[in-house]
Amino acid sequence: MTSFPLQISRPIHPTGIWNWITTIDHKRIGILYGVTAFILFIIGGIEAMLMRSQLASSNMKLINPELYNQLFTMHGTTMIFLAIMPMGAAFFNYLIPLQIGARDVAFPRLNAFSYWTFLAGAIILNASWFLGGAPNAGWFGYAPITGKAYNVGHGIDFWIVSLQVLGIASLAAAFNFIVTIINMRAPGMTFSRLPVFTWMSFITAILLVLAFPVITVALIELMFDRFYGTNFFITSAGGNPVLWQHLFWVFGHPEVYILILPAMGIVSEILPTFSKKPLFGYPVVILSGIIIAFMGWMVWSHHMFTVGLGPVANSVFALTTMAIAIPTGVKIFNWLATLWKGSLTLNTPMLYAIGFILTFTIGGISGVMHSQAASDAQQQDTYFIVAHIHYVLFGGSLIAILGGIYYWFPKFSGRMYNETLGKLGFYSFFIAMNITFFPMHFTGLNGMPRRIYTYSSEFGWDFWNLISTIGVFLLAAAMIIFIYNIVSSWINGEKAPADPWDARTLEWSIPSPPPEYNFAVIPTVEHRDDWWEKKMQNKTSEEISSGDIHLPQPSYWPFVVSIGLLIAAFGLIYNIPVAILGTAITMIGVYAWSFEPVNDPD
């Protein structure tokens, strides 16, 4: 290989923190993602609890409006970009190579890079709290209030820059998974034998790759307006705020499918395992996922029904939005048919997956209500929408993720979690969730707008707001039970076998936790649910690897490039020389990465 001035030999068997910094093992990266995302989820939850405390009754003076606006902005941005998406990424990272019978992803260093860049983005966004105030114009940042004329401080700048950095992380990860899933499947693992979770992740990655550039452009335009005086959203120059909304939602709607499809994939794995039956209608479930992803590009203006697009546009988008309910419903029916006549084990992951069906259905129904543009005018920007989004995100994405954490816990930790605590955690979670969010349907239809820091007692909203606030504290308690269970079990739970659930897919055919190389011998796949079929036919065997297994080496450079981006981001906000320094570090890192030698493992 070429010699290169900055050539540093790759780390050899690093230990301790250096192991984590230089790792390119998809399993470790998955754990990094999962733990980081969960901590950020807690932060987002605290932001919610503060808001709900302020809203517990009318005219409370706990939180002033400026802080409140920062809280709801950060809550939304954190939950979507720093919690749900990276938790999804944690699952992609850990599971996809295992499910397709590979040793790692296609680009292991790019994988590490996407984690460190995500962390950089999280740091940048949350740094705003300490550097003059967090962004305060909502996670959707509608123009013109995000412009310099109405928002002078650096809060919005942090929002813009952190989202761009997070976009780089997401795109890097998505590219990686697309290539991995297409190109690194074990022999015999055709697309029609792919586990549903991997399929849904594949579709999600494609959505990411096509949707993120649109918000990248929107953020660039806003940034140029704020930093360089351009006119994209300057109304006095003829700029139209509606353009921001179109760009944002062309990204934003596929984004919500990015948030839910992995969750649907997780549910599609859990239900068959604990019903001891295959997923009912596998081709239909996959096709529905593809149709949802495709049609997700045609519905974006249902977020803009009240913006004045006119009855023709509103009708078109109402119809497309109603249409997308159909493949969604079909999935639900297939899940129910999977359970039907199964032999059900109602343990913790199964409870979460079944709970998903119920709460996601509620969210889906309120979604179809919103699709009616005429009556949506009474729901838009009220708590009815807040109810809908939390039912699909909390009662959809999150509940599935929690179920997935329990389901794969034995695999990634090598331990069994405590089943009693798990069930207790589930029931408290499920009940608390409904106490928190169901009343929002009522307050919304009773005329309570969103994004208000206080309300008057004459409106009659006090009672249900108090119930919601109580609910959120109950939710916090439920999450404490969850955290306690996971942490204590990880430290000293009972050792887990390779296949504690008598499950169906390839990841259960290897030890818990898997060795660094995943599979001693790359399996030859002959069926869908290959592991289950092999078990049924008694064809499982302990195969011993016949030769050397070559694994990718750890590397410093992904971390270095991410640091460069972090520095460049702060420089972009504060100080151009710092931005240049950061960019230089990034470029040096990229060059060193490209020319890095491949050491042979010893």
329-348: which residues touch another protein (CB under 8 A)?
329-330, 332-334, 336-337, 339-346
Which residue from 445, 474, 579, 590 is in contact with another protein, where contact means CB under 8 A?
445
Hey, is 380 helix, strand or coil?
Answer: coil
Q: What minimum distance in Å lies between the beta carbon of 441 and another protein? A: 8
Hey, is 594 helix, strand or coil?
Answer: helix
Is 374 a binding residue for another protein by CB under 8 A? The answer is yes
* CB burial of residue 542 (10 Å; 0-12, 13-18, 19+): exposed
Of residues 456 and 575, the one with the C-beta less far from another protein: 456
Provide the token pair at 263. Answer: 């969750």
Of residues 187 and 497, the one with the C-beta less far from another protein: 187
Cα four-point dihedral sign 255, 256, 261, 263: positive
Provide the token pair at 98. Answer: 């295992």
Is 376 a binding residue for another protein by CB under 8 A? The answer is yes
Q: What minimum distance in Å lies between the beta carbon of 247 and another protein? A: 6
Side-chain-facing half-sphere of 37: CA atoms under 13 Å: 27
Distance CA 108, CA 455 (A): 51
The answer to whether the beta carbons of residues 303 and 245 sit under 8 Å apart is yes
Q: What minimum distance in Å lies between the beta carbon of 455 and another protein? A: 7
Of residues 35 and 587, the one with the C-beta less far from another protein: 587
Is 144 a binding residue for another protein by CB under 8 A? The answer is yes
Which residue from 62, 184, 431, 521 is in contact with another protein, where contact means CB under 8 A?
184
Q: What minimum distance in Å lies between the beta carbon of 356 and another protein? A: 11
Is 13 a binding residue for another protein by CB under 8 A? The answer is no
Is 152 a binding residue for another protein by CB under 8 A? The answer is no
Name the residue among 258, 264, 253, 204 with its Cα closest to residue 396: 264
Q: Which residues, including other chains, have CB under 8 Å from residue 484's CB and lie 6 or more apart?
A: 421
Name the residue among 221, 235, 213 with its Cα closest to residue 144: 235
Q: How far is CA 157 from the centre of its chain?
A: 23
SS3 sequence of 254-315: HHHHHHHHHHHHHHHHHHHHHHCCCCCCHHHHHHHHHHHHHHHHHCHHHHHCCCCCCHHHHH
Compose the 391-430 pattern: x for residues touching another protein by CB under 8 A, - for all others.
Answer: ----------------------------------------
Which CA distances in Å does 140 have to 35, 501, 537? Answer: 26, 42, 53
Of residues 224 and 473, the one with the C-beta less far from another protein: 224
Is 524 a binding residue for another protein by CB under 8 A? The answer is no
Provide the token pair at 204. Answer: 């999600």
Helix axes 399-413, 348-371, angle to 10 degrees: 150
Name the residue among 41, 52, 44 with its Cα closest to residue 437: 52
Is 257 a binding residue for another protein by CB under 8 A? The answer is no
Q: What minimum distance in Å lies between the beta carbon of 461 and another protein? A: 8
Of residues 231 and 420, the one with the C-beta less far from another protein: 231
Distance CA 88, CA 260 (A): 9
Stretch that binds another protein, among 114-122, 392-400, 409-417, 452-460 (CB under 8 A): 452-460
Is 542 a binding residue for another protein by CB under 8 A? The answer is no
Which residue from 22, 69, 128, 301 is in contact with another protein, where contact means CB under 8 A?
69
Is 600 a binding residue for another protein by CB under 8 A? The answer is no
Distance CA 188, CA 281 (A): 21
Residue list 278-297, contact with another protein (CB under 8 A): 278, 280-284
Q: What minimum distance in Å lies between the beta carbon of 414 and another protein? A: 26
Is 130 a binding residue for another protein by CB under 8 A? The answer is no
Is 217 a binding residue for another protein by CB under 8 A? The answer is yes
Residue list 226-255, contact with another protein (CB under 8 A): 228-232, 235-243, 247, 250
Is 216 a binding residue for another protein by CB under 8 A? The answer is yes
Is 302 a binding residue for another protein by CB under 8 A? The answer is no
Of residues 488 and 583, the one with the C-beta less far from another protein: 583
Q: How far is CA 358 from the centre of its chain?
A: 21
**Binding-site size, another protein (CB under 8 A):** 129
Compose the 14-53 pattern: x for residues touching another protein by CB under 8 A, - for all others.
Answer: ----------------------------------------
Provide the token pair at 507. Answer: 């990841």
Q: How far is CA 155 from the centre of its chain?
A: 23
Length in residues, the chain: 602
Residue list 97-116, contact with another protein (CB under 8 A): 106-107
Is 358 a binding residue for another protein by CB under 8 A? The answer is yes
Q: What minimum distance in Å lies between the beta carbon of 488 and another protein? A: 28
Tell me how crowded residue 312 is: count the other CB atoms within 10 A of its CB.
8
Is 547 a binding residue for another protein by CB under 8 A? The answer is no
Stretch that binds another protein, among 42-50, 317-325, 409-417, 468-476 (CB under 8 A): 317-325
Distance CA 147, CA 232 (A): 10
Which residue from 74, 200, 318, 592 is in contact with another protein, where contact means CB under 8 A?
318
Distance CA 87, CA 398 (A): 9
